[in-house]
Amino acid sequence: MVNWHWNPQPDIQSLLDTIARRGKPGRVHKLELWTDYEIMAALLGKPAPPDLPGRAESRVLADFKIEYYFTFGYDAFWEGPFLSFPRSRDLLSDDTAALPHSKRKWVSETQGEITSWQDFDHYHWPRLEEINFDRFEYTLSRLPEGMGLFAGVPGVFESLSFLMGYETLCMALFDQPELVQAVLDQVRALILPLAETLVSYDRVAGLWIGDDMGFKTGTLVSPKHLRCYVFPLLGELAQASHRREKPFLLHSCGKLNAVMPDLIHQVGIDAKHSFEDVIQPVEAFAAEYGQEVCVIGGIDIDLLSRGTEEAVRQRTRQVLEACLPRNGYILGSGNTVTNYILPANFLAMLDEGQRFSLNG
């Protein structure tokens, strides 16, 4: 594995200037929406603390995350007081990754918690006053000088599809649009005020929303339904961040070409994250949209999982050479740093970014 010897020099303002495409950065910045704790532990060479709900355990986990992101040269990372919508139909299986979770979990596509008005009336919605901000505020208080935090709330489309089930949602968009709107109204009543609270913290650099809306060849529902139901609330979240003069970053998987102009001009995203080479290589997206939004990540997860260190280095240099000259590019994985990627490959990507900063 690469011998990591780079000294941390966090500079959140330079990162924010890169997101805003204000001139050429002095070095390669990097961001990840999420890194599995197993990968953090492998790269730090220490066991990860348990992710338990207690206050003391949460603070230990917060310190662990700060140590990881600071050590490996990040200017910021994602965190949030976790608002979750209760679900009882998630699917579980054993995790076969080399660095496994205790279990791997999926959201059921066939049926969600709310498939009828009766389900809606009996669903136990979380309340804002129940959200625990302790770890979030503790993390902010412990950030090293020069670092910032991106905060997040649940995605709009993901909340709809997880609560209703993807298949049920697809049918309800035609058969029960009033029910879809009622679920969305409840989601809005929770995530919008939460977002407004999060961006009010001084060391929160902006909002970063994970909201997967696509798959390999298109959007998961028709663009017209995204424009009708999803984008107005995403736009309100962007406005909440912009009112505080902070950026709004979007992570969304899949082929979104049909709605990318809407996301840029209607929603008002400042940066786009999540790229897969078989859909659209990141440098192709940067060539098409890099003059309008910041581009984050793009080193393909398949390559990080199954490629060689040299192939990762070569691809990282290729992406940096193509994307950095346009202003507004930030290095990172194509999706999230999953526990089945090869730690040595990921470290090679980070190391190549550091070397490019010196020699690029």
- Whole-number Cα distances in Å, 45 to 33, 42, 51: 22, 5, 18
pLDDT of residue 256: 98
Domains of the chain: 12-359 (3.20.20.210)
- 56-88 pLDDT, tens digit per residue, is 678 999 999 999 999 999 999 999 877 889 888
State the virtual CA torsion across 71, 290, 269, 208 in degrees, nearest 10: -10
Query: What's the pTM value of the predicted model, to 2 decimals?
Result: 0.96
**Arithmetic mean of pLDDT over the chain:** 94
Both tokens of 54, joined, read: 């207690």
pLDDT band of 269, cuts 50, 70, 90: very high
- Region 155-181: what's the mean pLDDT? 97
pLDDT of residue 92: 86
Helices 134-142 and 55-71: angle between axes, nearest 10 degrees: 40
What's the longest Cα–Cα distance across the chain? 62
User: How many C-beta atoms surround the C-beta of residue 129 within 10 A?
Assistant: 5
Spatial contact of 279 and 216, defined as CB atoms under 8 Å apart: yes
Query: In whole angstroms, how large is the CA radius of gyration of the chain?
Result: 20
- Region 254-283: what's the mean pLDDT? 98
Q: Residue 76 in 3-state DSSP? A: strand
- 297-353 pLDDT, tens digit per residue, is 999 999 999 999 999 999 999 999 999 988 899 999 999 999 999 999 999 999 999
**Residue 1 pLDDT exceeds 60:** no
pLDDT band of 121, cuts 50, 70, 90: very high
What's the chain's length in residues?
360
- 221-234 pLDDT, tens digit per residue, is 999 999 999 999 99
